[in-house]
Structure 1
Amino acid sequence: MTRPLTNWHADQADRLTPGERAADRMRNGMGSWRFIAAFVLFMIVWAVINLTALSWDPYPYILLNLFLSMLAGLQGAILLIAAKRQDAIAAALAQHDYETNLAAKREIEELMAINREQLEILRDLRALGIAPAAPDRP
């Protein structure tokens, strides 16, 4: 019995929907130092511009707070989508590992049965005087 060798991760990646791909890209982007640096830079520029000539959002920065709240809400939803997908991937991978382990167990049991059969044949041959006795082991 032979099992085909497949790359489970490649098969799973091929089955992703466009929405799942987008959620993964956004999660990877928002979880990077580049995003954090750009976000901090944006907030500093916003504050500097509003403290100087163009004061469209004066000091308690109500508009900036609104944007930050909307961003946090979207990030939370995106991260939940990505976490849900990771849970599904982990469950599918665990199932794949379980099936692989079962197949390996069956193959090992089959090999052990063949080994026992060969040992029985050797015993029968020795009893008939056809096969030499096994050397003593230290």
Structure 2
Amino acid sequence: MPHFNDISKQLFGKPLSELGEIERRILTHARDRRTLATDSHAAFTARLSFGDRLADNIARVGGSWSFIIGFCGFLVFWVLLNTILLATGAFDPYPYIFLNLMLSMLAALQAPVIMMSQNRQAERDRFAASKDYEVNLKSEVELIALHHKVDDVLLREISELRADLATLNRQLERYRTPPGQE
């Protein structure tokens, strides 16, 4: 088997010492005939802290139609309840200042949580893209190695055919030459 540095030069066009971490890992996987782990979602999720998972769940609920419809129902209930109770001393009379305060606090807390989740989604996308790059690079390395193997087989077969053709030509020359003129 060729030396690891020779393989690096052949496949990547540069010596092993100049390869990056990903290229070295791909070369090692290709040499050892191992597959790459492709479940990037599970690998990324395993790194998340409790707070990260909580923020993602809050963003998932807060950004759903069921939350919007449920919250609209709550707002209608609040307004109707306080309008009906207005005559008997409503808890939050019109213009619903307490409700406004609660909505402002909810928005103030929900917005950063959703932004954290969006940032994590962008990080998840970068992580997945990195894994895709690794898989594509390993595929390319495997294809190049396969091309080299096919080229070697073809060159060997061509060499054998040339040797056979030379032998055949010598035999033909013996048959073409009349006896006694050899």
The TM-score normalised by the length of structure 2 is 0.68
Higher relative contact order (CA 8 A, sep 6+): 2
Q: Percent identity?
A: 35
* Deviation readout 1:53-106 (Å, 9 max, x if unpaired): 251111111110111111111111111100110111111111111122111111
| Contact persistence 2:44–2:127 (CA under 8 A) | no
Alpha-carbon offset, residue 10 of structure 1: 1.2
Give, as a single letter, the amino acid of the residue that structure 2 aligns with 1:3.
Answer: R
Alpha-carbon offset, residue 3 of structure 1: 2.8
2:148 corresponds to:
113
* Deviation readout 1:37-59 (Å, 9 max, x if unpaired): 11011101110111112511111
1:1-138 aligned at under 5 Å gives the runs 1=30, 2-6=33-37, 7-53=39-85, 55-129=90-164
2:168 corresponds to:
none
Q: Unaligned regions of 5+ residues in structure 1, if any?
A: 131-138
Alpha-carbon offset, residue 5 of structure 1: 4.4
Alpha-carbon offset, residue 4 of structure 1: 2.9
| Contact persistence 2:59–2:113 (CA under 8 A) | yes
| Contact persistence 2:40–2:127 (CA under 8 A) | no
Give, as a single letter, the amino acid of the residue that structure 2 aligns with 1:4.
Answer: T
Cα root mean square deviation, aligned: 1.4
CA distance in 1, matches of 2:34, 2:106: 48
Aligned residues: 130
Q: Unaligned regions of 5+ residues in structure 2, if any?
A: 1-29, 166-182
1:135 corresponds to:
none
CA distance in 1, matches of 2:103, 2:158: 80
* Larger proportion of helix: 2
CA distance in 2, matches of 1:126, 1:64: 90
The structure with the larger Rg is 2
The TM-score normalised by the length of structure 1 is 0.88
